[in-house]
Amino acid sequence: MGSVPSWEWVRRLGKAARRVLGEDARVVPFGSVAKGRAVPGSDLDVMVVSERAPSSFRERARIAYELCEEAGVPEDRVDVLIVRPKDFEVWGRMLMTSESDDTRALVEELLERGERFLKLAVESEERGWNDLAALHAHQAVELTIRAALMALGETPPRTHFLGKLLGRLHQVTGKDAFGELSRRYRWELRELSHAWFEARYGRYPGEDVDVGELVEAAREVVEAVRDYVLKLIDARGGG
């Protein structure tokens, strides 16, 4: 197990960012290190904020790699998000705290993205693109549950396993409906989590997997959780 991420990494990344992106660049840590909750094996999560942040995803990825190399920090232990100041104003505050005034904006965006992923999952399954159907269905469920937890002021668990995420939502809300979904789709959610992981590495689909059942399970979970979140937002009067 690796050591605890060091604040020295933040200092070195800041120095590298200013050299690569200019003196206006700043490094803002978030996640477990920023909150003092890092443990051996934790990743360091940082946002690099600069007006010179490129719009190209490929360029941002290249710069993130360059910053880690120059700072001498292990790339596999650091998650670097490179953003412009205007993006930081929206995403930055939401990533640093679940109590941000902008939490609602992120919750609504995650719900919308979850809905889009679900639509893509259905379309992919109909076309016989089972690997894409699994990837999209998994993302639909994950983003929707994360939106619900954030709406409740919770920091979502750092996991991609859907059963654990839904179980946490059931624990936080105490709603029997979520407990029932966890029990009813226990194996589908587990299988979908593994299908998502394997599809990323070209090892899926398997002939013994009914992707249609996985997509249907995803649909029911997404719709139930989304309905709960929207009612929660309405009950708060939009604030």
Reduce the secondary structure of the chain to three states and give it as a string: CCCCCCHHHHHHHHHHHHHHHCCCCEEEEECCCCCCCCCCCCCEEEEEECCCCCCCHHHHHHHHHHHHHHHCCCHHHEEEEEECHHHHHHHHHHHHCCCCCCHHHHHHHHHHHHHHHHHHHHHHHHCCCHHHHHHHHHHHHHHHHHHHHHHCCCCCCCCCCHHHHHHHHHHHHCCHHHHHHHHHCHHHHHHHHHHHHHHCCCCCCCCCCCHHHHHHHHHHHHHHHHHHHHHHHHHCCCC
- Of 102, 85, 82, the closest CA to residue 93 belongs to 102
How far apart are alpha carbons 207 and 67 in whole angstroms?
A: 43
pLDDT in tens, 28-39: 887 666 666 656
Query: Would strands 44-49 and 78-83 be described as parallel, antiparallel, or unpaired?
Result: parallel
pTM score, whole prediction: 0.63
**Which residue segments constitute the domains of the chain, with CATH numbers given?**
7-96 (3.30.460.10), 103-235 (1.20.120.330)
What are the pLDDT digits (tens) for 32-74? 666 666 566 667 888 899 999 998 878 888 999 999 999 998 8
The residue written with tokens 């232990």 in the block is 77
The confidence score (pLDDT) of residue 174 equals 94
| The pLDDT of residue 1 is above 50 | no
Tell me what pLDDT residue 160 has. Answer: 85
Q: What angle do CA 153, 156, 158 make, to 5 degrees?
A: 155
Confidence check: pLDDT of 185 > 60: yes
d(CA 67, CA 57): 15
pLDDT band with cut points at 50, 70 and 90 for residue 125: very high
pLDDT digits (tens, 9 = 90+) for 187-216: 999 888 887 777 776 665 556 678 899 999
- Strand ranges of the sheet holding 26-30, from the earlier edge strand across to the other edge: 26-30, 44-49, 78-83
